[in-house]
Chains A and B, each alone.
Chain A
Amino acid sequence: MFKIVRKEVLNPSVKLMEIEAPYVARKAQPGQFIIFRINEEGERVPLTIADYDRDRGTVTIIFQEVGKTTKMLGSLNEGDEILDFVGPLGVPSHLEGYRKAAVIGGGLGTAIAYPQAKKLHELGAEVDSIIGFRNRELVILEKEMKAVSDNLYITTDDGSYGQKGFVTEVLKDLLDQGKQYDLVIAIGPLVMMKAVSELTKKYGIKTIVSMNPIMIDGTGMCGGCRVTVDGKIRFACVDGPDFDGHLVDFDEAIRRQSMYRKEERQALEEYECRLRGVQNA
């Protein structure tokens, strides 16, 4: 069992939890993830390691409540325990040797991008971060990102905070102003990572994206997480999750992401229905 030692609500649908998992904390690196399972009936769900504290033996996760499992996790409190928590999985990001990087986070992707921005900053790279959200209410990790960035740009789709528009527009403006980057990291919804990759390809800048296909085991055993990179099948859980954005087949990834939409909705509806039942009883 793995204990929740801290819980914070970052925005109405995004929560942060610090979990006691000494073995994982000891080895965790930016770019890696964990897989958790709440209870015996639960699904195995992957989440990025947002931070870790080797001394305290804890791992921080930040998650958006999108379906049944993440909502259930969100309903747990400090002191509660979850059944399984396995990691660190995946290949750590290679961040050494870069001088000037742009780190782009779309929505929840900001949480996944944060440890990478932090590491780049620690390694002495100049970091420009661009983070985008649908509206002001959804902005997360502004303070944390600011602390590890030389420049921080914030966008909202509706203009309620920061600049109105998409992260790609800011990146394009910066590039057109003559900013030079030797690395772009883009993490967020697939469509956003696709747009950023298309843009940076024109400018010839190396771009890393973090793929988040549906996973089960996370150890290379099922092949469910396969993505096509440079025409070859790769398993995101063991070969990734970071890949060269210019080589990823995003359209295929977008199709595969939707494979269980109907079942996910069913699971969520039944869960919420049961919750209402409990509240009404």
Chain B
Amino acid sequence: MPNMSLNKTKMPEQDPNVRNRNFFEVALGYTEEMAIEEAKRCLQCKTKPCIEGCPVNINIPGFIKLVAEGRFEEAYDLVRESNALPAICGRVCPQETQCEMFCVRAKKGEAVGIGRLERFVADWYLANRKPKDEKAESNGIKVAVIGSGPAGLTCAGELAKMGYDVTVFEAFHVPGGVLMYGIPEFRLPKALVQKEIDVLKRLGVEIKTNMVIGKVLSLDELFEEGFEAIFIGTGAGLPNFLGIPGENLNGVYSANEFLTRINLMKAYRFPECDTPVKVGKNVAVVGGGNVAMDAARSAKRLGAENVYIVYRRSEAEMPARVEEVHHAREEGIIFRFLTNPVRIIGTEDGWVKGMECIEMELGEPDSSGRRRPVPKEGSNFIIDVDTVIVAIGQSPNPLVTSTTRDLETNRWGGIVVDEKTGATSKPGVFAGGDAVTGAATVILAMGAGKKAAKSIDRYLKSKREQSQEQK
């Protein structure tokens, strides 16, 4: 008998007024009983509309059925056939606009908690089973992957499963990309990211950290070292700034710097860990995306009294996930919509003491279809802040493209690829994820990595065949 409750089975969460003082995970996950209860809400639709909404096409009703029957390990195996990082996706995917948006249960009441169930099976597996060694037989062909974010990791995992010898080169001292340095611990525990990466390593993927490709090795040198194909998944790490006066004052951070200090360098454990971060009493975060929410909620946890999200459009246009906005509100973040900064004001010795803003109103829709914000003449006012965090987006990281002449990029610095294959203008080089699209999502990056892995396989096979024929 399906469970006909209109609402998702509740997931336990830390109390907002406790969690806004710690970095432990906010959502605590389902117990086995809760998972089975939620799984029973799935109607096992013949048409499976939900699968269409998932960029990696997980067999959603299939794995949910197994959960409902308490066959958690099989459920995990089924999810893993399509998604190498389920514990991560179950937590950070924007499900409300993907799989869950297409769920028939959403027509009346709430969708099945697909993300929550995916998270459950992955957590259950990582907690109860030892990862298996799944190393495929090697075909002796070397492929290089640049960047160990979700795009690179997925591509590497897929290729390893096919038998390729894959080496991932990562600039940082740990793999994971944004999963490690951007998304905070309280949304995505880093130990868990490491565990999912360990599962990939068991496929035989080798990860070399501290290797900045473009500097330490060029793409051509990688080919000379015997790699026969290359995947670029270097992400969109280049922070944008506002271009207003006062942006270089002490106390102004890019969201990347602020979050990197906290997540990657563990500044929240200073002085036990050596990297510090400054969080004032009053913090303004400029921007309205997930990154802004993460920065604001981190600032609050580090002791800021008032944290403002300053966003130039209205709430309806905010790109952040609804759930994250809701969490931020619960934790006491203050929203200032239709407000745009025009200048950051400093003390005599160069520290932030305020931010001058102007009120905005919404005009005609722009090219993105959202109504364009226009300043209201003479409405300037000053908010009293001592820290400003700029979270207005990132552009593709230029280190590889600027050192590779024959790699075509677009106006925004994104690598140009063939949409179907992920192939770039340089033979044997493929790319995907944020490095191509600009800042997007984990699951889209993974989808791109998976697609490129297939193309790389095809490319290398046809290369083999051609050289056979010539012989």
Verify if B211 is at the interface (C-beta below 8 Å from A). yes
CA distance A71 to B423 in the complex (A): 48
What 0/1 readout, one digit per residue, does chain A (243-281) give for beta carbons within 8 Å of chain B? 000000000100110111001101100100000000000
Q: Closest CB of chain A to B349's CB: distance in Å?
A: 7
Choose among A41, A84, A218, A219 the residue that contacts B274 (Cβ–Cβ < 8 A). A41
Verify if A44 is at the interface (C-beta below 8 Å from B). yes
Verify if B5 is at the interface (C-beta below 8 Å from A). no
Query: Do B250 and A255 have beta carbons less than 8 Å apart?
Result: yes
Query: Do B212 and A219 have beta carbons less than 8 Å apart?
Result: yes
Q: Closest CB of chain A to B352's CB: distance in Å?
A: 11
Q: Closest CB of chain B to A135's CB: distance in Å?
A: 30
- List chain A residues, Cβ under 8 A from B261: 216
Query: Do B215 and A216 have beta carbons less than 8 Å apart?
Result: no
Query: Do B278 and A221 have beta carbons less than 8 Å apart?
Result: no
Verify if B272 is at the interface (C-beta below 8 Å from A). yes
Query: Do A27 and B239 have beta carbons less than 8 Å apart?
Result: no
- Stretch from B29-37, B252-260, B369-377 forming part of the interface with A: B252-260
- List chain B residues, Cβ under 8 A from A27: 215-217
Which B212-235 residues have C-beta < 8 A from chain A? Answer: 212, 215-217
Contacts A23-B216, A23-B217, A222-B257 given; does A256 touch B250 at CB 8 Å: yes
- List chain B residues, Cβ under 8 A from A86: 171, 173, 210-212, 216
Q: Closest CB of chain A to B469's CB: distance in Å?
A: 37
User: Considering only CB atoms and an 8 Å cut-off, how many residues of chain B contact the other chain?
Assistant: 42
Verify if A228 is at the interface (C-beta below 8 Å from B). yes
What 0/1 readout, one digit per residue, does chain B (388-410) give for beta carbons within 8 Å of chain A? 00000000011100000000000
Choose among A42, A83, A87, A222 the residue that contacts B215 (Cβ–Cβ < 8 A). A87
Residue of chain A at shortest CB distance from B270:
A263
Residue of chain B at shortest CB distance from A37:
B173
Contacts A233-B248, A259-B250 given; does A43 touch B275 at CB 8 Å: yes
Query: Do A216 and B265 have beta carbons less than 8 Å apart?
Result: yes
Which A76-107 residues have C-beta < 8 A from chain B? Answer: 83-89
Residue of chain B at shortest CB distance from A238:
B399
Among B253, B260, B266, B269, the one with the most A-chain Cβ atoms within 10 Å of its Cβ is: B260
CA distance A256 to B349 in the complex (A): 10
Which A14-62 residues have C-beta < 8 A from chain B? Answer: 23-24, 26-27, 37, 41-44
CA distance A238 to B241 in the complex (A): 16
Query: Do B271 and A270 have beta carbons less than 8 Å apart?
Result: yes
Query: Do B254 and A233 have beta carbons less than 8 Å apart?
Result: no
Query: Do A260 and B274 have beta carbons less than 8 Å apart?
Result: no
Query: Do B265 and A221 have beta carbons less than 8 Å apart?
Result: no
Query: Do A87 and B248 have beta carbons less than 8 Å apart?
Result: no
Verify if B322 is at the interface (C-beta below 8 Å from A). no
- List chain A residues, Cβ under 8 A from B172: 217
Verify if B194 is at the interface (C-beta below 8 Å from A). no
Verify if A69 is at the interface (C-beta below 8 Å from B). yes
Verify if B276 is at the interface (C-beta below 8 Å from A). yes
What 0/1 readout, one digit per residue, does chain B (116-156) give for beta carbons within 8 Å of chain A? 00000000000000000000000000000000000000000
Query: Do A252 and B216 have beta carbons less than 8 Å apart?
Result: no
Contacts A219-B171, A222-B257 given; does A252 touch B271 at CB 8 Å: no
Query: Do A233 and B210 have beta carbons less than 8 Å apart?
Result: no
Contacts A256-B248, A266-B271, A270-B271 given; does A216 touch B217 at CB 8 Å: no
Q: Closest CB of chain A to B172's CB: distance in Å?
A: 7
Among A43, A222, A226, A233, the one with the most B-chain Cβ atoms within 10 Å of its Cβ is: A222
Query: Do B212 and A223 have beta carbons less than 8 Å apart?
Result: no
Residue of chain A at shortest CB distance from B243:
A233
Verify if B237 is at the interface (C-beta below 8 Å from A). yes
CA distance A222 to B217 in the complex (A): 22
CA distance A259 to B257 in the complex (A): 14
Verify if B273 is at the interface (C-beta below 8 Å from A). yes
Which B163-211 residues have C-beta < 8 A from chain A? Answer: 171-173, 181, 209-211
Given contacts A27-B217, A219-B212, A263-B276, 6 further A-B contacts (CB under 8 A): A37-B173, A42-B274, A87-B215, A238-B398, A263-B271, A263-B278
